[in-house]
Amino acid sequence: MMKFIFASNSPRRKEILLKFNIDIKFVPHHFNENAVDKNIEPHSYCKIISNKKADSIVDIYPNQPILSADTIVLSPNKSIFEKPRNEQDAHRMLRALSGKKHQVLTGVSIIHKQAKINFSFTETTLVEFNNLRDEEIYYYIKHFEPYDKSGSYGIQGFSSIFVKSINGCYFNVVGLPVSRLFYFLKKFNLVQFS
Amino acid sequence: MMKFIFASNSPRRKEILLKFNIDIKFVPHHFNENAVDKNIEPHSYCKIISNKKADSIVDIYPNQPILSADTIVLSPNKSIFEKPRNEQDAHRMLRALSGKKHQVLTGVSIIHKQAKINFSFTETTLVEFNNLRDEEIYYYIKHFEPYDKSGSYGIQGFSSIFVKSINGCYFNVVGLPVSRLFYFLKKFNLVQFS
């Protein structure tokens, strides 16, 4: 099996991928995410960012498949929620998500220069939040870490109790839609489980 | 905060609950699950089992809230899939789930004898499987452990790539619907996050 490169140091993506018995090396990408115009349509936006992350290291690993991903939270009124800047910003996002449905989008890219593969897709999951009380939001912000998470919550941690239900891929909300990723890795003959 | 008793030794339920900063002790229950008639309507079935698990240790812990849970997989043609007996049985279940939707049901009980609380509910999540190739099913059975899992798969492990999408609570499929559990624990004043 080939050795994969993952252009990300996200501990959550690492944890997801380490279950699959595949040889994978996690490296930082060399792309400045702030260089992308945030007014692009969100599904394209995260696909472009993800593609540019993988592309930024393609000349270092031209003979290996490079994977990358970018996750954003699209608020109920369709603005992009990224990582919160401070407590107030985290509270603003969680208040906006409370009692409503929002979308989580992950752009994923697979680039293998030698094999002429350069493919990206965006996976969408619908997430419905419970009604949150302010005390609960502040308790969460104080005792848990919203600051490294798009939209200020992590579906896998304490804030799992904020989530009433989801429709779509759970791991897409964590940061990597494994089911669809492996569908394409198998299609491109980059992995084989048999 | 009160010390909870959880009538289960399931490592997955432990892992889920350890995120919540609550004081909780995991103990085995004293109930023989095979004593329950499997022809009972499935939503009632897992609520009854869960209730009997908690009830089996209520006289040991009359002053503490006891929690318990029971998860079953309901196949596309509505038969109960429990833990597989062997490789063939695991293959039979996964083949039946392939390309189709099925339900995962978890019965959850909260018993606190002193406070006169005896409450149970069943949470349902709809799970849609990808089309599985036989080689992939056998690869999974050989390299990963289906034997301790109702329905022969774990949504959190390698078999996450079998799952196309879910509708409902993800943790309900893992074995404990935390969002709804904490809704009721807060309602009964057994936990407070503030």
CB neighbours of B191 closer than 8 A, spacing ≥ 6? B1, B20, B22, B182, B185
Dihedral of alpha carbons B180, B186, B190, B194, sign: positive
Give the domain extent around B101.
4-187
pTM of the model: 0.95
Tens of pLDDT, residue by residue, chain B (194 residues): 679 999 998 899 999 999 998 999 999 999 998 888 888 999 999 999 999 999 999 999 999 999 999 999 999 999 999 899 999 999 999 999 999 999 999 999 999 999 999 999 999 999 999 999 999 999 999 999 899 999 999 999 999 999 999 999 999 999 999 999 999 999 999 999 88
Q: Does A187 touch chain B (CB under 8 A)?
A: no
Q: Tell me the pLDDT tens digit for each residue of B153-182.
A: 999 999 999 999 999 999 999 999 999 999
ipTM for the whole complex: 0.94
Long-range CB contact pairs, B11-16, < 8 A, 24+: B12/B154, B12/B156, B12/B174, B12/B175, B12/B176, B13/B69, B13/B175, B13/B176, B16/B171, B16/B174, B16/B175, B16/B176, B16/B178
In the chain, the amino acid numbered B150 is S
User: Does residue A127 belong to any structural domain of this protein?
Assistant: yes
User: Does residue A145 belong to any structural domain of this protein?
Assistant: yes
User: Does residue A120 belong to any structural domain of this protein?
Assistant: yes
User: Does residue B48 belong to any structural domain of this protein?
Assistant: yes
User: Does residue A137 belong to any structural domain of this protein?
Assistant: yes
CB nearest B158 (choices: A20, A157, A160): A20
Label residue B184 left, alpha or beta by phi (over 0 means left) and psi (-120 to 50 means alpha): alpha
User: Does residue A193 belong to any structural domain of this protein?
Assistant: no
The number of domains in chain B is 1
Q: Which of residues 19-38 of A touch B (CB under 8 A)?
A: 19-21
- Report the chain A residue with the minimal C-alpha distance to residue B167: A167
Q: Which residues of A are catalytic?
A: 70
Contact A167 B164 (CB under 8 A): no
Q: What is the CATH classification number for the domain harbouring B177?
A: 3.90.950.10
Q: Does A81 touch chain B (CB under 8 A)?
A: no
User: Does residue B192 belong to any structural domain of this protein?
Assistant: no
User: Does residue B43 belong to any structural domain of this protein?
Assistant: yes
Tens of pLDDT, residue by residue, chain A (194 residues): 679 999 998 899 999 999 998 999 999 999 998 888 888 999 999 999 999 999 999 999 999 999 999 999 999 999 999 899 999 999 999 999 999 999 999 999 999 999 999 999 999 999 999 999 999 999 999 999 899 999 999 999 999 999 999 999 999 999 999 999 999 999 999 999 88
Q: Does A138 touch chain B (CB under 8 A)?
A: yes
